[in-house]
Amino acid sequence: MPSHSTRFATLPEYPLASIPQKKRDLLARGVDVIDLGAGDADLPAPPAVLERMRSAIAEPALSRYGFGLGYPPYREAAAAWMQKRFGVTFDPYKEIVPLIGSKEGLSHLAFGYLNHGDVAIVPEPGYNSYMGGTLLSDATKYSYALRPRTQFLVDLNDVPKDVLARTRILYLNYPNNPTAATAPLSYLEDIVRRCRELDILLVYDNAYSELAYDGYVPPSIFEVDGAREVAIEFHSLSKTYNMTGWRCGWAVARPEVAGTLAKVKSFIDTGQFMAVQAAGVAALESWAQFVPGNVATFKERRDAAVAAFREAGFACEVPRAAMYLWIPLPEGISSAEFGDRLLQKEGVIVMPGSAFGPGGEGFFRVSFIVSPERIREAARRAGGVLASFEARAA
């Protein structure tokens, strides 16, 4: 048996990969498990999506290869939604790339732009696909620690000049996973300006653009002047429409950048099942009717989570967007040890901050993806575990 490639050897374990089996083992033992781990809500997709999927799977033409083109109405719906939501216009056939979920596109884009010795700036904590694509491209990952000092924003002034000189890609994600941080428009304007000056491709992950609260409306990077020259933006139906398992998203950029990703994908896949893309059209067309009610449900869960974890003894900010609480732990408590004890002793799944990279140590992530009642019970159990650590330290 041949040995693994050096690129494969650089990959750490994916943080969520082991959770399903651990959860299965606990359930088999009769443990009452409360899963606040993945950003995967227990809510249904829009009724229009389910209805369109039922009819689409009966259409033989939609069961054939989609190739890169995919289902043309899906491209058109994505472009129309970008215009309606953000006021930006893109050609559906030259500037939209249908994806099998935004995750694969975020990973595969690196194959088109990174060489050995090139640098990608990867925020930590952050979505692990940014790191995966970088390492599998044989490029160098520069980890930028997202900390409260900078409001969890990437400040390029903190990056050494010799690193910036080799940087080809900067990954950004606001509203942010896992910190739930948001980026002011003035910050995005400055980032676009710096990327233009430094000839850096800005990869903007906008998966949480529609999960926002208290009047906040997240922007597209393309609302910033000059962004078309340097940016590609990724969108997903997963969070907005409770369609995580459907694996349906898109990327949008000027033709040269979109074409690069499309060419890479042409050697990797033959497109998402076109029936799913047809259902994706129904999702986008239901945006105005469906999203406000869905966001109201998440807001109720957010408010319950903040109140419950505060009552349980944790410091907790109120997030303006996304589906996460990013909760600091007292000094001296390892996030991995806390998460493991909470899982094994209390059956509550959260994500240790260190699972998102060393920059996430000192925090843990809660996904408010279940009912308020279950969130309150999870917080009560977490408070007991926190007290056990504090008693040990006393």
What are the pLDDT digits (tens) for 267-304? 999 999 999 999 999 999 999 999 999 999 999 999 99
pLDDT bin (cut points 50, 70, 90) of residue 214 is very high
What average pLDDT does the segment 87-91 reach? 98
- From the list 146, 150, 229, the residue with the least C-alpha distance to 192 is 229
The domain segmentation of the chain, as residue ranges, is 6-45+289-393, 47-287
What average pLDDT does the segment 348-365 reach? 92
Fold (topology level) of 6-45+289-393:
Aspartate Aminotransferase, domain 1 (3.90.1150)
Q: What is the predicted pLDDT for the residue at 17?
A: 67
Q: What is the predicted pLDDT for the residue at 9?
A: 84
pLDDT, tens digit, for every residue of 19-46? 778 888 888 888 888 999 988 999 999 9
Whether 6-45+289-393 and 47-287 share one fold: the answer is no
CATH architecture of 47-287: 3-Layer(aba) Sandwich (3.40)
Q: What is the distance between the alpha carbons of residues 347 and 343, in angstroms, rounded to a whole number?
A: 5
